[in-house]
């Protein structure tokens, strides 16, 4: 099983930079993931609720029970803004141990943040779309049937 498959087996995903706008990629991806049964935790300092879920200003602001349940942090931010998000995620990983991966969406590349995440024992996927990867695997499964 490769790293992408391991991540896709997770059930709870914090989406950092999740937009309130249905036209934005982050919204479309989160909506897709939710439709596939993933629990989505929106992280957006400018929203109270997205996709029917309470939104939080940052990972640091999540309630303890959510911090303890998050398995993946999916990042929709500019590459230069990723390191602080990863540092917050690493703290959650250290305290609760359940968080297993950082996913940086297409166009998001930050090698320093990736290294910090890997050093903390996190799987790192960079510059790839979690929705496209899930769809690819669904297509492969259908082809095998």
Q: For residue 95, what pLDDT is reported?
A: 97
Q: Which two tokens stand for residue 11?
A: 């059930």
Could you give all domains of the chain from N- to C-terminal order, each with its CATH number? 3-144 (3.40.50.720)
User: Digits of tens for pLDDT over the chain (145 positions)?
Assistant: 799 999 999 999 999 999 999 999 999 999 999 999 999 999 999 999 999 999 999 999 999 999 999 999 999 999 999 999 999 999 999 999 999 999 999 999 999 999 999 999 999 999 999 999 999 988 876 665 4
Q: For residue 115, what pLDDT is reported?
A: 99
Q: For residue 25, what pLDDT is reported?
A: 98
Which ranges constitute the DSSP H helices of the chain?
3-8, 25-35, 64-69, 82-96, 111-119, 130-144
Q: What's the CA gap between 94 and 127, in Å, rounded?
A: 25
Q: For residue 60, what pLDDT is reported?
A: 98
């Amino acid at each position: 099983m490769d790293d992408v498959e391991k991540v896709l087996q997770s059930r709870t995903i914090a989406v950092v930079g999740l937009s309130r706008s249905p036209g934005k990629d982050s919204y479309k991806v989160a909506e897709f993931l939710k439709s596939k049964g993933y629990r989505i935790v929106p992280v957006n300092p400018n929203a109270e609720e997205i996709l029917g879920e309470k939104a939080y200003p940052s990972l640091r602001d999540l309630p303890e029970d959510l911090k303890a349940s998050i398995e993946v942090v999916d990042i929709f931010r500019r590459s230069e803004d990723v390191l602080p998000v990863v540092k917050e995620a690493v703290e959650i990983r250290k305290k609760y141990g359940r968080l297993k991966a950082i996913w940086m969406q297409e166009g998001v590349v930050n090698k320093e943040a990736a290294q910090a995440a890997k050093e903390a024992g996190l799987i790192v996927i960079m510059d790839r779309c979690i929705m496209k990867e899930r769809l690819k695997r669904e297509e492969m499964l259908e082809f095998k049937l």
